[in-house]
Amino acid sequence: MEKKIIAQNINNVLRETNLSALGPKRTGKVRDIYDLGDKLILISTDRHSSFDRIIAHIPFKGQILTETSRYWFDATKDIIPNHVLEYPDPNVLVAKKYKIVPIEIIPRAYITGSTNTSLWTHYQKGKRDFGNFILPEGLRKNEKLKETVLTFTTKLEEHDRSLTPKEIVDEGLLTTDILKKVSDTSLALFKRGQEISADRGFIMVDTKYEFGLDENNNLVLIDEIHTPDSARWWMLKSYEERFNNGEEPEYFDKEFLRLWFKGKCDPYKDKVLPEVPPDMIVELASRYIEIYEKMLGRKFEANIQEPIEQRIKNSLKKYEIQR
């Protein structure tokens, strides 16, 4: 999709949904979630979240998240079952409801990041021992680690909090057995993601996973997988040269927008944030579309004629009738 078309649709975004006929709604950072009892309707909006707050609205983002997750759920279902039931709309996933595992798991192959929970932020502050791994002295930002490491944060708290495996068990968040299953599965998923990404010309730097448990305590993959919101990608062919020259990698995620905010304000503390320039919104949407097209191997197509919320409402009529 050309940047000109993106710019023309810069205000054609889904900020929120209000589909009361679907039942109770929970508003997440990016998704509006309607609870149907035994299943959930997850609607991906165009809200853009960083620093535990909404910082922008990106055209086509919700559709890209949903369709990208769909690709990766299919590409990893031999590793672990997932919560998918159907996709009635480009922005919508209907999922089976499971008991939520109350932590997020982040595999990291490189030391980077700019948020309070990022590996590079902790490292800059002098932290070396992360409970399940120790980092050596002298690492540079964006450097490849000797092996993939796992970090953990809380999921159900208002603000993400970093956790060690010991803290997870001691706080009663997970048993040792479930934590091991979560860790092993996360590494297997990440390895699959790295392999496919490399075939497409990208480095998968890090990502996050969320899991649920079924009635027999079996692990199920939930939420999203390997989207531009939940994963970080760099361009493979230019990484080494740019790293050696002390330059930032070619990003295909929201990191460049995070860095812009950190250069303009304190995004964690300032009550009012600066407004993102339109050209940066267009650029981020363009990057999301590019990684979509290269990763999925098809052109990104969107319906720009019909209002998004009305289209979604029409696609979910059968769920209104059932209630």
Per-residue confidence (pLDDT) for residue 161, from 0 to 100: 87
CA trace torsion 124, 129, 130, 131 (10° rounding): -170
Smallest CA-to-CA distance from 309 within 66, 27, 49, 62 is with: 62
Domain boundaries, the chain: 100-244
Measure the CA–CA gap between 171 and 323, rounded to whole angstroms. 38
Measure the CA–CA gap between 157 and 134, rounded to whole angstroms. 26
DSSP state of 20: G
Instruction: Say how many C-beta atoms besides its own lie within 10 A of residue 130's C-beta.
Output: 18
Backbone angles phi, psi at 203, to 5 degrees: -100, 125
Instruction: Give the sign of the dihedral formed by CA 78, CA 79, CA 82, CA 87.
Output: negative
Smallest CA-to-CA distance from 96 within 41, 14, 172, 166 is with: 41
- From residue 223, how far is each of 15, 41, 55, 109, 266 by CA, in Å? 19, 11, 21, 22, 29
Smallest CA-to-CA distance from 47 within 22, 24, 13, 96 is with: 13
- From residue 115, how far is each of 118, 124, 167, 180, 255 by CA, in Å? 5, 12, 21, 26, 10
Instruction: Say how many C-beta atoms besides its own lie within 10 A of residue 79's C-beta.
Output: 13
The CATH H-level (homologous superfamily) assignment of domain 100-244 is ATP-grasp fold, B domain (3.30.470.20)
Measure the CA–CA gap between 209 and 190, rounded to whole angstroms. 9
Measure the CA–CA gap between 51 and 258, rounded to whole angstroms. 8
Per-residue confidence (pLDDT) for residue 251, from 0 to 100: 84
Per-residue confidence (pLDDT) for residue 323, from 0 to 100: 44
Sheet harboring 39-44: ordered strands across? 25-27, 31-35, 39-44, 92-96, 84-89
Measure the CA–CA gap between 182 and 187, rounded to whole angstroms. 9
User: Tokens 């535990």 identify what position?
Assistant: 52
* Total count of residues recorded for the chain: 323
Where helices occur in 245-307 by DSSP H, the ranges are: 255-264, 278-296
**Residues forming beta bridges with residue 178, ordered by sequence position:** none
Positions of the chain with pLDDT under 70: 158, 321-323
Q: What is the pLDDT of residues 191-223, one digit of tens each?
A: 999 999 999 999 999 999 999 999 999 999 999
**Residues forming beta bridges with residue 57, ordered by sequence position:** 47
